[in-house]
Structure 1
Amino acid sequence: MSKARNNIINRLRTTKPEPCHFSERDHLSRFNWDKEERINRFVERMVAVRAEIIHASKDDWAEKIAEICQEKRLKNMLVSPETAQGKVLYNMVDQLPDLQSYDHEIEDWKSEMFNQTDAGFTTTLGGIAETGSLILWPTKHEPRLMSLVPPVHIALLDTNQLYTTFSEVVKEQGWVDKGMPTNALLVSGPSKSADIEQTLAYGVHGPKELVVVLIS
């Protein structure tokens, strides 16, 4: 087994790959959508997969989230107190449901997290208009489970960070120079899955609802 393994490795090291030539692809070069077009296309694609879009301004986005919580009758919401946006929400606790923070190991409160948490609020790194996707870059303050476990995911997106394509995101945000994230998430609508008969079902393996608050 060891000899066969070494033979394979030696062949890989000595084989010179043939040069690859790619023609220019439209989705990599389309950067001519203005901001209004990016917003329209993003909203259209998100709504098509049953996401909710709430338009807000820099001054009233927190109040919009309070309204969402009231309309959905949320009893609690997972919010990081360490982000700038989270601090704003913690300063208006009288208008919001019980705010919870992800400040301890998941093993210590797994049952509560999976069975008793109504919603999770996260910020975003940006959005992609072409596919109708949110870009989440999980951190220790906003771990991945905050957007994947609660039945309702409320995400905040500044339209100034709404890009045309994924390649534009990588280029404009300098992912290559700054280092690729260890865990970047692209979220396109609430959770969905299809069985062998290709019947699409929502909310099977994650949030049943996705609410995107767009700040313009």
Structure 2
Amino acid sequence: MSTRDAILKRLRERTDGPLTAPESDFAVVTHRGWSAQERLERFERLITSVHGEVVHCREGDWTAALIEVLAAKGIKRLALGREHPVAAEARAALAEHEVALVDVDRDIEQWRREQFENVDAGLTSTRGGIAETGSLWLWPTPDEPRLISLVPPIHIAVLEAEGLEDTFFDVIERHDWAAGMPTNALLISGPSKTADIEQTLAYGVHGPRELVVLVRHSKEAA
């Protein structure tokens, strides 16, 4: 009998019965009781405090806000998916504009150099946001691989205003992460940043130097 089997055998044959999980109180990491407006204000305050940009727009005309951002930042080559409604709507809106749309549903080996050298920005949807930390959360897919939010110098993310949760715990619980999640979920709390030994903060060293969040409000909230 191996050491592992011996340990498991002793655990199974405990004289005082099988082990049970202790009761846990998650109150400290869960629901804060903020209103929708409070969540939105807190999210915006925190993400802009680390150089993130927030642009508010309506569900029906959010692509107009996207076009304004692209023009203001001189973006000529935009990487984006095809199947997600955010990507599909963006492609339709940009069909008549002088912005090259870069397909991302390709093997990375086929366009690694192009992605790192010739793409101005990446556009992604988000699954939601976290008010407590001013964070976005994304689940990468083959249609929206994680690199389009991690490599281009500018990341443009579309967030539904109603998709904000109070805390990270609330996200995990409400969206049932325990039932299944991708190989990696992305939590984004501003542009890429790092600090040297003197604790001098620098942005854009290992990823996007800019993050623009298009907060999309529903028609009902108009």
**TM exceeds 0.5?**
yes
Does the alignment pair 1:65 with 2:62? no
Distance 1:96 1:65 in 2: 14
Deviates more, 1:55-64 or 1:86-95: 86-95
Distance 1:197 1:34 in 2: 39
Distance 1:127 1:12 in 2: 43
Deviations 1:14-67 (A, max 9, x none): 57589656555423242x111000000000000000000000010111110000
Aligned equivalent of 1:129, options 131, 136, 150: 131
TM-score (norm 2): 0.87
Deviations 1:156-208 (A, max 9, x none): 0001111101111122222223x133211000000001111111111111000
In structure 1, what residue type is equivalent to 2:138?
Answer: L
Contact 2:136 2:188 in 1 (8 A): yes
Does the alignment pair 1:35 with 2:36? yes
CA RMSD of aligned residues (A): 1.9
Contact 1:69 1:96 in 2 (8 A): no
Distance 2:88 2:193 in 1: 31
Distance 1:21 1:196 in 2: 42
In structure 1, what residue type is equivalent to 2:52?
Answer: A
In structure 2, what residue type is equivalent to 1:60?
Answer: D
Runs of 5+ unmatched residues, structure 1: none
Give the direction of change, closer, same or farther, for the CA distance of 1:144–1:19 in structure 2 (3 Å limit). Answer: same
Residue 183 of structure 1 aligns to a residue in which SS?
coil
Give the direction of change, closer, same or farther, for the CA distance of 1:21–1:78 in structure 2 (3 Å limit). Answer: same
Runs of 5+ unmatched residues, structure 2: 12-18, 218-222
Aligned equivalent of 2:28, options 22, 26, 29: 26
Corresponding residue number in structure 2 for 1:173: 175
Residues 1-216 of structure 1 aligned to structure 2 (within 5 Å): 6-7=2-3, 9-10=4-5, 13=8, 22-30=24-32, 32-92=33-93, 93-95=95-97, 97-177=99-179, 179-216=180-217
- Report % sequence identity: 43
Deviations 1:135-161 (A, max 9, x none): 000001000101000000000000111
Contact 1:78 1:119 in 2 (8 A): yes
In structure 2, what residue type is equivalent to 1:196?
Answer: I
In structure 2, what residue type is equivalent to 1:182?
Answer: T
In structure 2, what residue type is equivalent to 1:193?
Answer: T
Deviates more, 1:46-55 or 1:194-203: 194-203
Count of residue correspondences? 209
Contact 2:105 2:144 in 1 (8 A): no
Contact 1:66 1:96 in 2 (8 A): no
Give the direction of change, closer, same or farther, for the CA distance of 1:29–1:110 in structure 2 (3 Å limit). Answer: same
In structure 2, what residue type is equivalent to 1:100?
Answer: V
